Amino acid sequence: MSSVNYTKQMQDRLLMQFHSSPVLNGVLAAIGRELEELTAVYDDLRDLRWIDTGEGQQLDGCGEIVQQSRTIKQAIAIAFFGFDGQTGATGFSQGRIRKNREAYLTSAKLADAEYRQILWSKVAKNTTDGTAESTIDSLYRLYAAKIVVAETGNAKIRIAIGRELTEAEILLANALNLLVRAGGVGIQVKSYFIDGSAFGFSNQNQGYLGFGTGILAKEF
């Protein structure tokens, strides 16, 4: 409800001889309650139809504006029997055998917190200027980690995320395709590494660790 007491404001403006009138005060109280309800509605229209504050249907409305649904197709791996390295693979007696041509991914419906993050990423993609800085920003919005972007020549780039990614994060990012890059620029390699513990060589002078201590980056 509104913090403004409209009833008291109107009563304070009455002439002294009308202050004790029960009928007039009752009318002002009724009008005051309606004004407070209207103010609360207007406040909600202003404050809750925003990505950071909206919930449920309000966020769905934001999604319609930026053209990003909260239901993401092919974002969750179905647990089938398989081997290490296969998406959603499980061991013996843990998952059934996948049938021929059966889909191994299903849709996900994002909760409000995750949906807000994706909406802001979509806003960034819709309004990008295509610079390297916008590429880094789009990745940071998705992963909140150190981002490394390097040109490899022939209109190609290599990107690396500075933390370990879960299978769910990789699937979601691939399904959304919210990575910003200039038109005609392709991605040669996508990888992730453990920032501060990554394997590298001393001549690169970037704080990498050597054999036996450094952890190799992984492509995804």
Q: What is the pLDDT of residues 137-155, one digit of tens each?
A: 988 988 888 998 989 888 9
Cα end-to-end span (Å), the chain: 49
Q: How high is the mean pLDDT of the chain?
A: 83
| pLDDT at residue 64 in the model | 95
| pLDDT at residue 48 in the model | 80
Q: Which residue has the tokens 């996900």?
A: 108
φ, ψ at 30 (rounded to 5°): -65, -45
Task: Say what percent of the chain tops pLDDT 70.
Answer: 80
Cα maximum dimension of the chain: 92
Q: What is the mean pLDDT of residues 172-195?
A: 86
Comparison of pLDDT for 164 and 89, the residue scoring more: 164
Whether 123 shows a pLDDT value over 60: the answer reads yes
Indicate the pTM of the whole model: 0.65
| pLDDT at residue 210 in the model | 63
